[in-house]
Amino acid sequence: MEAGAVNFTYFLFFLFILFGTLIITYWASQREKTTRQFYTVSGSLTGMQNGLAIAGDFMSAASFLGITGAIALKGFDGFIYSIGFLVSFLLLLFVIAEPIRNIGKFTLGDVIHTRFPVAKIRFITSVSTIIISIMYMIPQLVAAGLVIHLLLNVNYNICVLIIGVLMVFYVVFGGMMAASWVQIIKTVLLLSGTLLIVLIIFARFHWNFFSLIDQIPDKSPLADHFFMPWHLFDNPFEALSLNLTLILGTAGLPHILIRFYTVKDKVAVRQSVLASSWLIGLFYLMTLVLGFGVVVLVGPEHLIAIDPSGNLAAPLLAHKVGGEFLTAFISAVAFATILAVVTGLVVASTSSFAYDIYNHILRKGEATEREQLRMAKMAAAVIGVVAIVLSLNLKNMNVTFLVSLTFSVAASTNLPLLLFTLYWKRFNVAGAITGMVTGLGASLICVLMGPIMMGQAHALIPLENPGIVSIPLGFLGAVVGTYLSKVPQDERAFHLIQLKGHTGASWEQKRG
């Protein structure tokens, strides 16, 4: 890869992605202009399409670039990341996905509100959705800026600005439909690009996987210890905390949860989750091969010399095995990957604001379709500006840390709320609010007192990933808040939730 002037081949591929996504957005914008279409594509996606979209929404630059680099540099521990991300889909499949689809209509707020029909519950759920989505947007934009700067030699600030403007544009003009199809196409490109590199690697080693493995100890500075753990995590609590956070976090991520409203029924929901777990699983197996390929064909020292964070592992490998053309393709795929994820995050936060806060709370459910759509578009622009400004100022922040913090907050706030709302009869409004506040507070306090903020030597809570502390506190806060409150139990509300959640029965009724 050349430093200096912008490489024309790369630029061309980026332009292809840009035009492709703009065409998708145009096509989406020609559809019916209703809130159902904007928020959920009117439930018209098939299970497989939604599976591709969920995979696209979930597999971020951290997965593709970060994990490949982590495996190449740290061996076994990098692979553990993949497994944690993947296992989290089981929790989603078993206890979260279908009830959400069966009970709610557009947002997480709908689900919680069905059980606790008070405005402050909707408000707090929406605020949590917006905070988590923006928290997740920042590392994506920062990573995008850094990677595209390295690949295309464009100024970091301009990269962040371009991605930020594009993500707002897709949502404003194309809503959930544009987001979904950008994600679907990104998944296809990502999987094909990765598969192509895997096949080239295998061909180089004459289809003998083990001859690739056997060369690793010679090429890696870790030698045979490459295959051993403890190169990334230096203490067991850190490893356990990260594992816990990954396995529980996905089920609390709003942008993943609202994807279940884009399909027509609970069977399609199951198909979606299964399809995405297969796609993501296959992808992670392929990134393993990529990681090995980087060690043997590129060399860890060469990778670190060009990019100490290891994020350029995949493009460097592409360059080695396929020259400039393949590198340009893979870089453009990374660009599409980032775009797909941030667009999904903008949709989640926008729809929550427009539907939960604007329509239900401020306008008491009386806002017209046009008013809601207009508010949604304005919200998208504002959220985009906030995310861009924060990302411009957080350029030097550790991106992986921000991602795992987001998962930690999601698992500490949304997950207890969801699980208790759906499955615990005794749960009440006080518990819901206490739980959310405790979970969020615990996550933030753990970060403020952790090694990232206070330095390794002085940290009061010596965990970079605070999940093992904040998640139980989130659950505990919800339990304690429930029991301390004098509000009598509303059994009927629980039965309604349980009935709708488990059977898919649907009534629309006005409850007080």
Partner 1 sequence: MASHQEKIEDTDLHRVDDRIDMIVKSDVYLDLIKRKKRFLVRVIIFFMCFYFALPLGIILFPKVMAFQVFHHFTIAWVYAFLQFVMIWALGGLYFFKAKQFDRLAEKAAPWRQEP
Q: Which backbone phi and psi does 379 adopt, to 5 degrees?
A: -60, -40
User: Least CB distance from residue 179 to partner 1, whole Å?
Assistant: 20
Q: Which residue type is seen at 352?
A: S
Q: Specify the residue, 79 or 181, whose C-beta has the smaller distance to partner 1.
A: 79
- What is the four-CA torsion angle of 446, 449, 452, 454, rounded to 10 degrees? 180
Q: Specify the residue, 264 or 363, whose C-beta has the smaller distance to partner 1.
A: 264
Q: Specify the residue, 97 or 342, whose C-beta has the smaller distance to partner 1.
A: 97
Rounded-to-integer distance, Cα 169 and Cα 297, Å: 40
**Three-class SS state of 144:** helix
User: Least CB distance from residue 216 to partner 1, whole Å?
Assistant: 7
What is the DSSP track for 47-95? HHHHHHHHHHHH--HIIIIIIHHHHHHHTHHHHHHHHHHHHHHHHIIII
Strand partners, 263: 45
Q: Which residues of this chain interact with partner 1, rule CB under 8 A?
A: 42-43, 76, 79-80, 83, 86-87, 89-91, 93-95, 98, 210, 213-214, 216-217, 224, 226-229, 236, 239-240, 243, 247, 264-267, 270, 273-274, 277-278, 281, 284-285, 492, 495-496, 498-499, 502-511
Under 8 Å CB-to-CB from 375, ≥6 apart: which residues? 353, 354, 358, 359, 367
Q: Specify the residue, 204 or 270, whose C-beta has the smaller distance to partner 1.
A: 270
Q: Specify the residue, 93 or 429, whose C-beta has the smaller distance to partner 1.
A: 93
**Three-class SS state of 263:** strand
User: Least CB distance from residue 465 to partner 1, whole Å?
Assistant: 13
Q: Specify the residue, 23 or 228, whose C-beta has the smaller distance to partner 1.
A: 228
User: Least CB distance from residue 209 to partner 1, whole Å?
Assistant: 9
Rounded-to-integer distance, Cα 354 and Cα 107, Å: 10
Which residue has 């409850």 as its token pair?
A: 511
**Exposure of 10 by Cβ count < 10 A (0-12 exposed, 13-18 middle, 19+ buried)?**
buried
User: Least CB distance from residue 353 to partner 1, whole Å?
Assistant: 24
User: Least CB distance from residue 316 to partner 1, whole Å?
Assistant: 23
Q: Specify the residue, 335 or 494, whose C-beta has the smaller distance to partner 1.
A: 494
User: Least CB distance from residue 3 to partner 1, whole Å?
Assistant: 36
User: Least CB distance from residue 88 to partner 1, whole Å?
Assistant: 10
Q: Specify the residue, 425 or 458, whose C-beta has the smaller distance to partner 1.
A: 425
Structure tokens of 238? 């850190």
Show the CA angle centred on residue 386, arms to residues 380 and 391, nearest 5°: 120
Q: Specify the residue, 361 or 499, whose C-beta has the smaller distance to partner 1.
A: 499
Rounded-to-integer distance, Cα 51 and Cα 268, Å: 9
**Three-class SS state of 214:** helix
User: Least CB distance from residue 16 to partner 1, whole Å?
Assistant: 33
Whether the CB-CB separation of 470 and 440 falls below 8 Å is answered with no
* Residues 75-110: b if buried by 16+ CB within 10 A, e if exposed: bbbbbbbbebbbbbbebbbebbbbbbbbbbbbbbbb
User: Least CB distance from residue 372 to partner 1, whole Å?
Assistant: 16
**Three-class SS state of 364:** coil
Q: Specify the residue, 2 or 508, whose C-beta has the smaller distance to partner 1.
A: 508
Rounded-to-integer distance, Cα 165 and Cα 313, Å: 27
